[in-house]
Amino acid sequence: MATQKAEAPKGKLGVLVVGLGAVSTTFMAGVLAARKGLAKPVGSMTQYDKIRIGRGEDKKYLHYKDIVPIADLNDIVFGAWDVYPENAFESAVNAEVLKAKDILPLQAELEAIKPMKAAFDKNYAKRLDGNNVKDCKDRWDMAEQLREDIRNFKKETGVDRVVVLWAASTEVYVPVNDEVHGTLEALEAAMKADDKENIAPSMCYAYAALQEGCPFIMGAPNTTVDIPAMWELAEKTKMPIAGKDFKTGQTLVKSGFAPIIGTRCLGLNGWFSTNILGNRDGLVLDEPANFRTKEVSKLSTLESILVPEEQPDLYGHGNDEDTQYYHKVRINYYPPRNDNKEGWDNIDIFGWMGYPMQIKINFLCRDSILAAPLCLDLVLLSDLAMRAGRYGTQRFLSFFLKSPMHDYTKGEVPVNHLFQQYVMLKNAIREMGGYEADEEID
């Protein structure tokens, strides 16, 4: 993949979101409100961060928009699919994330966003039962219908480009199966054979997006684009893909806090993370098969930052049976909180001569408030990457993701360390702006 300067955008940018729930409507409302000067898009790197370009005497700190040609908020046009028929205004009200005073000034614009019928299979999300659902002959037909939706959306809105963003629920865990997921050919055959077990609905969305020339972003922990078949398709269509799982609450803290421990050469005996959350996401994750998908996504963070093999004195034990620290993640559905997620982390560290200490982090966060700016940044940066000729897996977007994509067939390892991810992000922006990147990330 050649590194090249991104081309300037022309025309509008369509954003098609899978799932029109709490995250999506908060994302949309915030963009619309920011355009009217009613609210600030806090938490968005593309809107706030400043990056150094140049070195020594020549260095300057610039906002992204002054380095690379990212699309303007005013040029975004929203569309969506959802299993429930409520429009974005109704859904935002139901989500109870934003206050009435923040939604009401946007009522007309939000009401205009009506969800297209979703590609859905109840076996992948037992707790959901909406009826705004496509009738599909098989998985191939499902993808075909989605492709048609995308083409129609383009035609009706006149947008120049489209990005497809999955902001829907976690599906049941689908392990990678080389016979089905190993090549594009095998994948297409399985879609045609209606292999419901190995082809999640989300894969049909990704397939449709890439075939239609749209970058695809996986915001849930689904393994949708973590398979060689999708990488092949992205290469073929020269489209960026990114995933997976928005890095919002507890994992954000973990990927930032673990480096503190690691940088100071403190030891780790155990890390226990528990969460309570009460929104639809929590309801879906209350189902063990869906939680499994999430757990796999959340557990890997720590192990790649504090590596027992590299520092056996520091991370190499923890209890009698294991050869490293003890790490456990729990998610608990707890309705009284609705969208207000709460994380509680207990970190058992040790210092000089092995003496133990404890750090406890209690994060009273809001899921959608943390996810919305990630949606914006992932959309704008995927669109930018496409215009810079970057396709396939976008490692520089790891910063935004709980379980960043990496091509394990090439021996790549995921980068979970928040500050190393940040260096990767900055370097990509520099390159796409025609500047030299810093060579190393540590």
Query: Closer CB to a second copy, residue 13 or residue 376?
Result: 376
* Least gap, CB of 276 to a second copy (angstroms): 5
Under 8 Å between Cβ of 21 and 82 = yes
Q: Minimal distance in Å, beta carbon 304 to a second copy?
A: 15
Shortest Å distance, C-beta 218 to a second copy: 20
- In the complex with a second copy, the residue whose CB is nearer, 111 or 310, is 310
Q: How far is CA 356 from CA 193, 237, 285, 306, in A?
A: 57, 53, 34, 17
Nearer to a second copy, 157 or 346 (CB): 346
**Max Cα separation, the chain?**
68
Nearer to a second copy among residue 182 and residue 350 (C-beta): 350
Closest CB 294 distance from a second copy, rounded Å: 16
Label the pairing between strands 76-82 and 60-63. unpaired
Pick between residue 191 and residue 381 the one whose CB is nearest to a second copy. Answer: 381
CB 301 within 8 A of CB 402: yes
The smaller minimum CB distance to a second copy, of residues 152 and 323, is found at 323
Q: How far apart are CA 119 and CA 145, in angstroms?
A: 9
Gyration radius from the chain CA atoms = 21
CB of 248 vs a second copy, minimal distance in Å = 10
Cβ-based burial of 307 (10 A; exposed 0-12, middle 13-18, buried ≥19): middle
Look at residue 197 and give its three-state secondary structure. coil
Cα 128 to Cα 175, 296, 419, distances in angstroms? 22, 22, 37
Is residue 105 within 8 Å of residue 38, measured between CB atoms? yes
**Least distance from a second copy to the Cβ atom of residue 328, Å:** 6
C-alpha to C-alpha distance for 423 and 51, rounded to whole angstroms: 10
With respect to a second copy, which residue has the nearer C-beta, 77 or 97? 97
Q: How far is the CB of 113 from a second copy (least distance, A)?
A: 18
CB of residue 342 to a second copy, shortest distance in Å:
7
Q: Which long-range contacts does 40-46 make (Cβ < 8 Å, 24+ apart)?
A: 41/73, 41/373, 41/376, 42/373, 43/369, 43/370, 43/372, 43/373, 43/374, 44/373, 44/376, 44/377, 45/373, 45/377, 45/399, 45/425, 46/70, 46/376, 46/377, 46/380, 46/381
- By beta-carbon proximity to a second copy, the closer residue of 135 and 439 is 439
Nearer to a second copy, 237 or 274 (CB): 274
Whichever of 1 and 364 has its CB closer to a second copy, that residue is 364
Alpha-carbon dihedral sign for residues 259, 261, 265, 271: negative
Phi, psi of 150 (to 5 degrees): -65, -45
Rounded to a whole number of angstroms, the minimum distance from the CB of residue 425 to a second copy is: 10
Rounded Cα distance between 22 and 167, Å, is: 9
Nearest-approach distance from CB 108 to a second copy, in angstroms: 19
The full length of the chain comes to: 442
Cis peptide before 244 (omega within 30 of 0): yes
Residue with tokens 């078949």: 229
Report, in Å, the least distance between residue 284 CB and a second copy: 15
Residue ranges of E strands in 90-201: 116-117, 161-166
Complex with a second copy: residue 108 or 353, whichever CB lies closer? 353
